[in-house]
Amino acid sequence: MNQDKFTHIYRLPGSLQIRIAKWQATFRGTSDIVLHNALIERNKQYQKPGFLPRGWCLSPFSEDDISITHHGSYIQTTILTMLDRKVAYKRVYLSRMPLEQAEPALRAFKLEWMHKYNRVLKKYNQIKKKEFLQFAREEVETLYPSLPKGEFDRNLWNRLVISELGPEKKFSNPYYVVKADF
């Protein structure tokens, strides 16, 4: 790893600058003491509850994210399986149920899934952010870049799904939604 490549810290001629989203701070000088102070300030921003490191943490879903698309003979919504977070589609064929009932049923299905998904996601983000902050603290102590690129941890996610929601056998679908038969 290149000595100058600290996450969110940029070397300018004669100063160091921290840029995280719209927030930024500039420190005069380029010595190790200035770098140490910049890392401490950056880590204070990392510790804020609203900060989710990209690649390390996942974004929660909200009701505004629900999208139901119409395809003539059926309606569908995109969804993730609980185990492994694979993209899937939940379809309701209009030959089995009229549109006036199908759309609210699909919406209720997605809301139940979203509630459970966000519950697991909250624990996942807490664990991953704690791990991220340990690497950030290590940078302050060593003055050497040690923050690896964040990746989705499938094993951790699957363990949390099973501990929070129970084993897959307990549910009739991979989305862990109880009211899924319609």
Question: What was the pLDDT predicted at 58?
Answer: 96
Kindly tell me the sign of the dihedral angle through the C-alpha atoms of 41, 47, 48, 51: positive
Q: What is the dihedral of CA 127, 133, 138, 139, to 10 degrees?
A: 140
Q: What is the pLDDT of residue 160?
A: 98
Q: 122-144 b/e with 16+ CB inside 10 Å = b?
A: ebbbebbbebbbebbeebeeeee
Which DSSP category does 65 fall into?
G
Q: Give me the tens of pLDDT residue by residue for the chain, a chain 182 residues long.
A: 345 689 999 999 999 999 999 999 999 999 999 999 999 999 999 999 999 999 999 999 999 999 999 999 999 999 999 999 999 999 999 999 999 999 999 999 999 999 999 999 999 999 999 999 999 999 999 999 999 999 999 999 999 999 999 999 999 889 998 876 66
Rounded CA Rg of the chain: 22
83-116: burial string, b at 16+ Cβ within 10 Å, e else: bebeeeebebebeeeeeeebbebbeebbebbbeb
Report the first-to-last Cα separation within the chain, whole angstroms: 53
Locate 127 and state its tokens.
Answer: 């664990």
Give 80's strand partners.
87
pLDDT at position 40 = 97
